[in-house]
């Protein structure tokens, strides 16, 4: 099949987005964002229906999911929906790193070529980010990882274009980093990596695929009582 019809889903961050592609073209998309909260549970299926408004679900050839890193809740909601659709329709499921999705978006959003590398970084609170390095063509240079920013984390000999909501807080410590305008991933930027997976028939196992959180989710221990002000 030369022009697969793919449904692309990203719910890894505050923006929830859906795209529908035919071959290498995006034919429909829908998104919603709430800066103050994550609205994926309420909006995801509405956005899927909107993107699929001119197509039947049985026309789909595959499902593509952004599988992290990102919001624990958002990733699980998106993953559950993607796996459910792929299973019900008996079609392949493909997974793409959220950081790779950002890097692909950077190639389209960059206004000039004044950089030699792309650094995708998502906020992980305090001075920590989930980050990965890519070359100026979007080819991966490092794995996705949790990074504590102290200075010197990026090779100093080149200029980096930073994309994602974790970039701005790192600018003072990484002088060779330029902040790009792209802060949130979008499902449409999953397309190129997904087409590579489609060509290689690199499909995921629906039953075993899990989001890539990078770090395990740990709930805080309940506090029992309050400390005595006199240290007793």
Cα-Cα end-to-end distance for the chain: 73
Domain 5-97+185-200 sits in which CATH superfamily?
ATPase, nucleotide binding domain (3.30.420.40)
Q: Which residues contact 91 (CB under 8 A, 6 or more apart)?
A: 60, 61, 62, 63, 85
Output the pLDDT for position 109.
Answer: 72
**Looking at the domain covering 99-179, what would its CATH class be?**
alpha beta
Output the pLDDT for position 35.
Answer: 58
Q: What is the pLDDT along the chain (232 residues), one digit of tens a residue?
A: 579 999 999 999 988 999 999 999 999 999 998 655 556 777 899 999 999 999 999 999 999 999 999 989 899 999 999 999 999 999 999 999 999 999 999 988 765 568 899 999 999 988 999 999 999 889 999 999 999 999 999 999 999 999 999 999 999 999 999 999 999 999 999 999 999 999 999 999 999 999 999 975 444 443 333 344 344 3
Domain ranges of the chain: 5-97+185-200, 99-179
Give the span between the Cα atoms of 116 and 134, in whole angstroms: 9
CB 35 within 8 A of CB 14: yes
CB 135 within 8 A of CB 216: no
Give the span between the Cα atoms of 119 and 52, in whole angstroms: 33
Output the pLDDT for position 42.
Answer: 77
Q: pTM of the full predicted structure? A: 0.89
Query: Same CATH fold, 99-179 and 5-97+185-200?
Result: yes
């Amino acid at each position: 099949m030369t022009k697969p019809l793919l449904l692309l889903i990203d719910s890894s961050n505050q923006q929830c987005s859906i795209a529908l592609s035919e071959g290498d073209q995006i034919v429909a998309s829908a998104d919603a964002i709430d800066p103050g909260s994550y609205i994926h549970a309420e909006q995801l299926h509405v956005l899927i229906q909107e993107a699929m408004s001119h197509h039947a679900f049985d026309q789909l050839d595959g499902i593509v999911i952004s599988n992290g890193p990102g919001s624990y809740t958002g990733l699980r909601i998106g993953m559950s929906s993607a796996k459910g659709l792929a299973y019900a329709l008996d079609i392949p499921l493909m997974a793409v790193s959220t950081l790779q999705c950002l890097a692909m978006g950077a190639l389209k959003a960059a206004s000039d070529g004044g950089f030699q590398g792309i650094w995708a970084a998502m906020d992980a609170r305090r001075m920590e980010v989930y980050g990965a390095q890519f070359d100026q063509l979007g080819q991966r240079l490092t794995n996705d990882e949790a990074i504590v920013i102290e200075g010197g984390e990026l090779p100093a000999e080149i200029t980096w274009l930073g994309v994602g909501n974790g970039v701005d807080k790192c600018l003072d410590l990484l002088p060779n980093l330029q902040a790009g305008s792209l802060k949130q991933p979008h499902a449409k930027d999953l397309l190129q990596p997904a087409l590579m997976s489609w060509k290689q028939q690199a499909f995921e196992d629906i039953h075993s695929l899990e989001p890539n959180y990078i770090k395990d989710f740990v709930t805080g221990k309940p506090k029992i009582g309050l400390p005595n002000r006199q240290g007793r």
